[in-house]
Structure formats: structure tokens, C-alpha cells
Amino acid sequence: MYEPVQRCTHCGANLTLDDLRKPNCTYCGTVLPHRAQAEQHAQVVGQVMNQMMGQQAQIQNQWRQGFGLGPMAPPPPMMGTPMYVANNDVSKNITRMILIMVAVIVGFTLLIVIAGFLFAFLAAAPR
Ligand SMILES: [Zn+2]
């Protein structure tokens, strides 16, 4: 009922959408390349998220210390969580969305920093 959409890079078998949902080729057992890529992406995103959450926790702890409160418990690590591994289109889209969001946030922060430097430079420059 499914049309073959891709060939296995190892044995050349026609793979249907159903076959592509599996981690390995149905016929020769080779790990499918798009699957390996998705898992790499998920790992990278997990690392980035951990870093961001760590930074956020640091900032929050600084605020809490300012108000005389104790530090917060560190967030549980997200790496290696099986539910985070992208094995369908929805989580692949989420992975892409998170990467884009991180890129936008980093780009926006850089822009503000650069604008601040430019402004300070222009204000300090002799006329
Ligand atoms: Zn194969």
C-alpha cells in the first residue's frame, strides 16, 4: 500500500515510508542514513538546550541570591532521553524549529550587542 520512496544505500532495496520509520534497513539491517542524522541532530539540540538551561539556572540563582533565597536544584540532563530521539516527522519538525529558534535568539542577542557597541562608539567619537 506504500510506494517505495527511497533506496537503501547499502543493498539498494526499495524502502517504503513504513520501512523508513524503522532505524535499520528491513532487508540488510544497515542503519538508515537519515535516521543516524536525525539522532545526531537530536543530540546537538539536547546539548544546546542543556547549555541554555544551565545558563538560565545560573542567572536565576544570581537573582535568587540577590533576594536572599537559596539556589535552585540543577535541571535534570535531557541528553540520552529516548523520547527525544527524532523518529517521525513531527519530532523532526520540532528539532528544526528549536534549531531555528536558537539561531534567531543568538542572532538577535549578537545584534543588540553590536548595536550597543556601535552606539557607544558613535557617542564617544569626536565631532
Ligand atoms: Zn539495505
Residues 6+ apart with CB under 8 A from 21: 87, 88
Domain that holds residue 22: 1-31
CA of 11 to the centre of ligand 1 (A): 4
Q: How many domains does the chain have?
A: 2
Q: What are 72-87's pLDDT values in tens digits?
A: 766 666 555 555 444 5
pLDDT in tens, the chain (127 residues): 567 788 888 899 998 888 888 888 989 998 887 777 888 888 888 999 899 889 888 888 888 888 877 777 666 665 555 554 445 677 788 888 889 999 999 999 999 999 998 888 888 776 6
Same domain, 81 and 120: yes
Same domain as 56, residue 17: no
Tell me which residue of 48, 54, 56 sits closest to 99, measured CA to CA: 48
- Is the overall model pTM greater than 0.75, yes or no? no
CA of 34 to the centre of ligand 1 (A): 13
**43 and 64 in a common domain:** yes
